[in-house]
A and B are shown apart, each in its own frame.
Chain A
Amino acid sequence: MTEARTGGLVDSPPVDSSAVLEALGTVRDPELDEPLPDLGFVSSLEVDGDTVRVHLRLPTYFCAPNFAYLMVADADTAVRAVPGVRQAEVFLDDHFTSEEINHGVAQRRGFQQSFDGLADDELDELRTLFRRKALINRQQRLVKALLDGGATTGELGRLRLGDLPPSPELDTYLQRRAELGLDVGPEAPLVVDTDGNPIPPELLERHLRFASLTRVSIEGNAGFCRGMLATRYDLPAPTVAAD
């Protein structure tokens, strides 16, 4: 690393705005399991020396404050980790708890302190709950592709992670498994429940049926959120691949 010294201070490398955007791309809506920039939730991004200012927006004024808080806090953490960033200012606009959330995140107070007297505990449990839903959704995408390619349900039950060719879908699935502390080794079964247990053959069919429902639910919600965001901010109507 090159270090230019001026008057004893170490200059930071210049902040690359595409690196900031990339960092924001690692932050997902916990419920929809998609990156914030893809959802249109990042309304502006400004680099000013070593300070980064990001404005976020959501589809409605009343989007659940717990998820909103998680997204703003995660965005703040991600932006701060970009090389050269000394100060991050992440704002949520046009939300009924914008003030509480923005203040709470800036002060790194946590959810409970941000809503003094109104929230009981932190959001880890909620985050885990939705990671489990997302796991099932991501698993379904992989499995659906295999079924469309001619695999039988019985074959799916015997597949191990190491049997699958590399793909972006596999990567995101493994990422969720790892986050939940589940086995990601090549010998681990592909189709598992949210605790990482393999599904007995006689329960496989219904497991897949329910996984498919979970996917309908999550993708449907994401489509609705995109539509509401477009209406709210007068954006071009989103194209919906599924329809």
Chain B
Amino acid sequence: MYEKDGEKYFVVDGHMHFWDASEENTKNKYGEGFIRCFYDYHKNLSPEDYVWPLEKYRKYDEPTLMKDLFEDGYVDVAIFQPTYLTDFYHQGFNTTAQDAVLKEKYPDKFVLNTSFEPRLGEAGLAMFEEKVRKYGSKGVKLYTAEWHDASKGWKLTDPWALRHLEKCEELGVTNIHVHKGPTIWPLNRDSFDLADVDDAASTFPGLNFIVEHVGLPRLEDMCWIGTQEPNVYGGLAVAMPFIHTRPAYFGQVVGELLYWLGEDRLLFASDYALWHPKWLVEKFVDYQYPMENEYPEITTNVKKKILGLNAAKLYDLKVPEGVSAGDEGTGQDVTEKPAVPVEASVGGHSE
């Protein structure tokens, strides 16, 4: 819980990891390149005092994670998003099995999400069902651009992906976190393309689709889809740290999202250990637009919703007394948003 100026903020970290990219676990040059790329993200956007040495960054231990998130970082509940990458790391980068160890020790502190792999077909479906039964997951994290054998990635609208999403409905796995981005292999198409999220969100109105990193670098497509589909959410991992290095740009991103999606569909996340939640939470609660603009105001209520209340709704988390947001927020109602001319969103709708 974070308190400032008499206000209480229930903090849900919507996206964090407990990874192992130690040299022993790194399988090949891709694994090496991956963690170094992550490290550059960390160094580039963190305040100087929060930059770790590379060795610590490759593999951090449980006490470090628990202290950073729950003692220093104000986090009440943290959502594990697995990142398997078993082609890069012998034991995987951050699997549900690894995360489950902490979930078992601290059941109230963590939400344990899992994943599925539609390219395994029927076998994938069985594996997924087993994981959900074992871990009780309410959400999945999906990497549609992930390299797997000779596959060039997949789409949420592929037949086997649809079968898995049906299974999600059946098992009560309602939160589908989708990472759109470079987890790589030569793709002739744009790996950030969000068109399949649009289609899947229409097909499965009972599921929530959380687009991680708010679609960056395709913010325009993210916002466009958000106006069309009421069950599409934006996860702010990676967008958050710009609050320090580029506060005006951060304001533009959040301002656009508030305008197009509204204040009820945005989720705070640190992406730990990419960034430390402590400074993100502190700076966000203090945040005021540093520039003149016409965006919706980021009020205390908006901040409460983004920091935790929106995620609490998606995951049925118990919110302590005294932190609910009054609902007089100024975020605009998305149902009143005019449809954007289709031509303007050029993100693959011609397919």
Contact = CB atoms under 8 A, between A and B. Distances in A.
Interface of A: 31, 60-66, 96-97, 100, 111-112, 115, 117-123, 126, 129, 132-133, 136, 193-195, 197, 199, 203, 206-207, 210-211, 213-214, 216-217, 220-221, 223-224, 227-228, 230-232, 240, 242-243
Contacts of B190: 64, 66, 126, 129
A175 B339 CA distance: 29
Interface of B: 29-30, 33-34, 36-37, 40-41, 43-45, 150, 152, 182-192, 216-220, 223-224, 242, 245-249, 252-253, 256, 260, 290, 338-341, 343-348
Nearest to A192: B343
A61 B37 contact: yes
Contact of A223 (B40, B192, B249, B343): B249
A180 to B, nearest CB: 11
Contacts of B223: 213
Given A126-B188, A213-B220, 4 more contacts: A62-B34, A62-B37, A136-B346, A221-B216
Contact of B40 (A120, A211, A232): A232
Contacts of B43: 231
A133 B346 contact: yes
A123 B188 contact: yes
15 contacts: A61-B34, A64-B190, A65-B185, A117-B150, A121-B188, A206-B338, A206-B339, A206-B340, A213-B220, A213-B256, A216-B249, A217-B218, A223-B249, A231-B43, A242-B249
B246 A216 contact: no
A57 to B, nearest CB: 13
B182 A64 contact: yes
Given A117-B150, A119-B152, A195-B343, A65 B186 contact: yes
B41 A228 contact: yes
Contact of A243 (B220, B249, B340, B346): B249
B274 to A, nearest CB: 13
Contacts of A65: 184-187
A37 B138 CA distance: 47
A199 B341 CA distance: 9
B310 to A, nearest CB: 22
A184 to B, nearest CB: 18
Contact of A210 (B192, B242, B246, B341): B341
Contacts of B186: 65-66, 97, 100, 111, 115, 118-119
Contacts of A119: 152, 186-188
Contact of A96 (B29, B41, B220, B348): B29
A79 B330 CA distance: 54
Given A111-B188, A119-B187, A129-B190, A231 B249 contact: no
Contacts of B343: 193-195, 197
Contacts of B224: 210
Contacts of B189: 66, 126
Contacts of A193: 341, 343-344
A112 B219 CA distance: 29
Contact of A61 (B33, B188, B348): B33
A133 B185 CA distance: 24
